[in-house]
Structure 1
Amino acid sequence: MYRIVCSLCFVLAIILYSTEATPLDDYVNTPDTHFAWQRLKTYAFPTYKLYILNMTSQKWFDASFSSQPIWWHHMIITVPRVLRRSQIAFLFIDGGDNTDPIPTSSVVTALALSTGSVAVELKQVPNQPMRFMADPTQQSRTEDAIIAWTWKIFIEQNGTNPYILLRMPMTKAAVRAMDTTEQLLKQEGFPVPQNFVVAGLSKRGWTTWTTAAVNNQRVLAAVPIVLDILNLQKNMMHHYRSLAGWTFAFKDYHELNITRYLNNPNLQKLATIVDPYSYFDRYAQVKLFQLQGANDEFFLPDSEDYFWDDLQVKTGGSYLRRIPNTGHNIQGYQESLQSFYLSIADKQILPSFKWTRTINETHGQILAVVDFSSGQPKPINVTAYQARTVTGTKRDFRQAKLDPDTGKIISNPVVWLNMPVQVETQTSTSITYSYTAPLPPNGYWDGMFIQVTFPGRESTTLDLTTETLTLPNTFPVEPCTGEDCYGKLC
């Protein structure tokens, strides 16, 4: 058997870092005279005030580089009339286009009201659409198409200018949003929060990781959502081997030859700068809660294989929830996020939940231990989830795939089923649960994980899961090298 295993701000940042500064630190902490904000509108409601701001976070190069050198954002700040938790604020890093109308509401207002704390929504991360002057197609790029272009330039220029990487301005925008929030609240006579909990989805989830890394004295906790491709090169190779190619969701990267550069040393140089894996030392005092979809079209359900153990060593424990039967457009996470946020805000003891995963020639097993010996919460429900792939050619749990004949995106009907777990041992201080499953028939892969539900603050519940165990531990293709890594979309 084996284990699957501002100037003042700039000075303070330098003093507080216990590790060597990276280009990401340098970029984010360099003062920028373009940083400014103005109030566009204030809405007064019976239970809260809503502030709509226009915030300029930075200048990223100039007009000879892109059509969007000045980055500006709409910010929506919800301040409850009754601030029960004024010491902390929630920052949600969001997307949207610079062509969008001025917002009049926020997706995090409900969280602000239910928790009695300030909640902030930062829009247009990244600024988009955007054209690059060196791009021969002169296409108007958004989302991953922008990121992929900056990766391409970085790699092909031998990594000579790290500030080209889009993660730089995206992270700086989030840090400036915290600065703006503090300034507005002070100006309005409200208490200024001492800490933030930061969250975001997908590429904003990546930015959540990096914001916590560069601002870890202010970020008390981080909730990266649907972004777990940490330890980038190894996880990308795992992706290639699992799908015998690349998910259709990687189209923007594939078109610009990023997959062809999988073994290129400049990709590793890129990862050293922007991969959260490079910043694990900085998360020792940051509570981390990952939220993932088990049927994600971008990322695989066992991506944690390549970084989870290292993250636990560096942090002393972080948390994961993988939600079954939902993809990259993740659903069903809001209550767990709120419960986690309340525990952080109120300094409550979080659960102690650890596990091991093993495979032998016939079975796979997950053993999960809940320890409540020191006042940690006891579980109120435990279950397992298991799913099987629908094809013998790919280790593929995505909810959608590319039809090779038509080139259209079609359903990939992988369903995670609820399964009972066994209680192995139970004492007055801990419970050990197990879920065991036989290896699937030849040509298929099964995935499984255990979910434990804990009681949370103010009648909320917190769902946590183990890592996913995929069995058998085989792959449809061997690792790729050189040009072969270009692969096909699937």
Structure 2
Amino acid sequence: MRLLGKLVLPLALLLGAPVLSSAKEPPAIPADLANYIAKDEPGSGWKIEDSKDFGSAKVWRLKLTSQVWQGITWTHDLLVVRPSDAPIGKMLLLNEGGSASEQKAMYAALLAGKIKAPVAILLGIPNQPLFENKREDHLIAETFVRYLDSGDSSWPLLFPMVKSVVKAMDSLQEFSKQEWGGPVEKFIVGGGSKRGWTTWLTAASDPRVMAITPMVIDVLNMREQLTHQQKSLGGTSEEISPYTERGLVPIPDTPRANSLWTMVDPWTYRERFTMPKLIVLGNNDPYWSTDALNLYWDALPGEKYISYTPNAGHDLTERDAAGKKLTPDRSINNVCSFIRYQLSGKPMPKLSWKHGTRPDGSLELTITADPAPQQARLWYAHSETRDFRKARWESQPIELKEGQPITASGPKPDNGFAAYYADLGYQIDDLPQWLCTQLRVVGADEK
């Protein structure tokens, strides 16, 4: 693998209101996932395939064997980047599909430079194609159906996906001790879409995860989400057709189907998510209802923050009014600034907010922020229905008054529906950061 070349950002890697975490011990995770992760894997191991100096950093390519699942040996490329003299106790670990490439190595190096810490990208999550050339959601759906048919709880594909990340953490600790003279102790884990799904379940399963950045997986509390999606979109999203085509959605009301969705829904594990969390979403993601976050946000414990990218879909890349792609810089910088906070130990801004309606019918948003942001904006979109996936988001600045709550208002829609939220601009060192409020959807006939 060549480690030099033109930078191309892998789309799957594009990646608040804090509350006090509970002092009680989190509940044990459901036995099926815990037992699968704990199962011995005598063939698991890793080796260094090659390495290269890369400017002021060094890049290693490891080959990892994580497990044998349903008779299939899972292997992965594991890219590791360490900037010169970067501390080694903590690192970012992203999980992604595919295999090693110079573009992915350069992306890891870009992130490592931004966060000033080691970065690893675990690839081949999941191993695919499998079972008559199935990939991605078609492959996950196939394994769900096989669980429903057999009752064998090792079938759901999310289980080996999570175990691969756990084995990557094991390997990175051994590798860092061997190559850097000391082990990595803690990991910030992230990933996009089904790799974001994997991120949530890994965080529930392993105490080495100190913070997470799940991206474009806005579906916790799945049964409620699917009901809400049908009401908001006039049916389920076409993007989840691999599941609807196999009879998995709507979720059958059977004991085994209920067991399946309990095992794989991060909502089941929510009390364990006490670590800091940055949830990274695109406002125009075709997979999910625009306000899907509201069905699980309040139930998440610990520090939690929102990164919405307006006019961006599942790839987190903004688009202009003509639909031309711009850049993913907003989401990348938001993720990197969040990670910089976690690594530095500096406290994140503390935010709280309240949506409301004024006596004249206009829409209101009140925000308390400590420290005060450098700037703030109100984002607003209109749609004839509750489906905002193709709506255009526009912003207006919010005036900041020293020592006072941040307030903004917008017009109630004359017809159809309006959606609105605010983002607040901060900066940590040289990295810009936009932290968002929840968004609210309001109809013209609603009070």
For residue 347 of structure 2, give the secondary structure of its aligned residue in structure 1.
coil
Rounded to whole Å, the distance in 2 between the matches of 1:241 and 1:153 is 30
Q: 1:175 aligns with which of 153, 166, 169?
A: 166
Rounded to whole Å, the distance in 2 between the matches of 1:146 and 1:44 is 37
| Structure 2 residue runs without a partner (length 5+) | 1-23, 317-327
Alignment RMSD (CA, Å): 2.3
For residue 210 of structure 1, give the secondary structure of its aligned residue in structure 2.
helix
Rounded to whole Å, the distance in 2 between the matches of 1:293 and 1:264 is 33
Rounded to whole Å, the distance in 2 between the matches of 1:339 and 1:319 is 12
Rounded to whole Å, the distance in 1 between the matches of 2:380 and 2:314 is 19
Which shifted more, 262-271 or 112-121? 262-271
Change (3 A) 1:473 1:227: farther
Offset, 1:260: 3.5
Q: 1:149 aligns with which of 133, 142, 157?
A: 142
- 1:94 counterpart = 2:96: yes
Letter in 1 for 2:337: S
Offset, 1:161: 2.5
Rounded to whole Å, the distance in 2 between the matches of 1:104 and 1:249 is 26
Rounded to whole Å, the distance in 1 between the matches of 2:332 and 2:242 is 30
Partner of 2:239: 249
Change (3 A) 1:46 1:460: closer
Letter in 2 for 1:166: L
Partner of 1:116: 116
Q: 1:339 aligns with which of 337, 340, 345?
A: 337
- 1:465 counterpart = 2:436: yes
Rounded to whole Å, the distance in 2 between the matches of 1:156 and 1:350 is 47
What is the 5 A alignment of 1:74-473? Answer: 74-83=77-86, 85-96=87-98, 105-131=105-131, 139-157=132-150, 160-215=151-206, 217-261=207-251, 263-284=253-274, 286-311=275-300, 314-315=301-302, 317-330=303-316, 331=328, 332-359=330-357, 362-370=361-369, 372=370, 377-389=371-383, 392=384, 394-398=385-389, 412=390, 414-421=391-398, 426-427=402-403, 431-442=404-415, 444-456=416-428, 458-472=429-443
* Contact 2:279–2:306 (8 Å) recurs in 1: yes
Rounded to whole Å, the distance in 2 between the matches of 1:201 and 1:329 is 9
Rounded to whole Å, the distance in 2 between the matches of 1:446 and 1:348 is 36
For residue 108 of structure 1, give the secondary structure of its aligned residue in structure 2.
helix
Letter in 1 for 2:423: Q
* Contact 1:210–1:276 (8 Å) recurs in 2: yes
Offset, 1:270: 2.3
Deviations 1:120-174 (A, max 9, x none): 010010111111xxxxxxx4111111111222333455xx322211110010111
Rounded to whole Å, the distance in 2 between the matches of 1:142 and 1:463 is 34
Offset, 1:360: 7.6
For residue 286 of structure 2, give the secondary structure of its aligned residue in structure 1.
coil
Partner of 1:481: none
Rounded to whole Å, the distance in 1 between the matches of 2:292 and 2:75 is 34
Rounded to whole Å, the distance in 2 between the matches of 1:463 and 1:257 is 40
Rounded to whole Å, the distance in 2 between the matches of 1:239 and 1:21 is 28
Offset, 1:364: 3.1
Change (3 A) 1:103 1:294: closer
* Contact 1:92–1:108 (8 Å) recurs in 2: no
Rounded to whole Å, the distance in 1 between the matches of 2:394 and 2:255 is 41
Change (3 A) 1:369 1:264: farther
Change (3 A) 1:441 1:319: same
For residue 405 of structure 2, give the secondary structure of its aligned residue in structure 1.
strand
Rounded to whole Å, the distance in 2 between the matches of 1:395 and 1:418 is 20
Change (3 A) 1:441 1:270: farther
Offset, 1:58: 0.6
Offset, 1:30: 2.2
Change (3 A) 1:52 1:18: same
- 1:36 counterpart = 2:50: no
Offset, 1:101: 6.9
Deviations 1:417-436 (A, max 9, x none): 0123355x752xxx422232
Rounded to whole Å, the distance in 1 between the matches of 2:444 and 2:169 is 44
Change (3 A) 1:358 1:162: farther
Offset, 1:223: 0.3
| Structure 1 residue runs without a partner (length 5+) | 1-15, 63-68, 132-138, 399-411, 476-490
TM-score, normalised to structure 1's length?
0.78
Offset, 1:96: 1.3
* Contact 1:455–1:461 (8 Å) recurs in 2: yes
Letter in 2 for 1:378: A
Which stretches of structure 1, 4 residues or longer, exceed 6 Å deviation after superposition? Answer: 100-104
* Contact 2:29–2:204 (8 Å) recurs in 1: no
Offset, 1:263: 4.6
Offset, 1:191: 2.8
Change (3 A) 1:227 1:44: same
For residue 169 of structure 2, give the secondary structure of its aligned residue in structure 1.
helix
Deviations 1:286-328 (A, max 9, x none): 11011100000111221112111111xx22x311111101000
- 1:72 counterpart = 2:82: no
Rounded to whole Å, the distance in 1 between the matches of 2:104 and 2:339 is 25
Q: 2:57 aligns with which of 48, 72, 75?
A: 48
For residue 163 of structure 1, give the secondary structure of its aligned residue in structure 2.
coil
Deviations 1:349-388 (A, max 9, x none): 1110111223589343222111x3xxxx331010011111
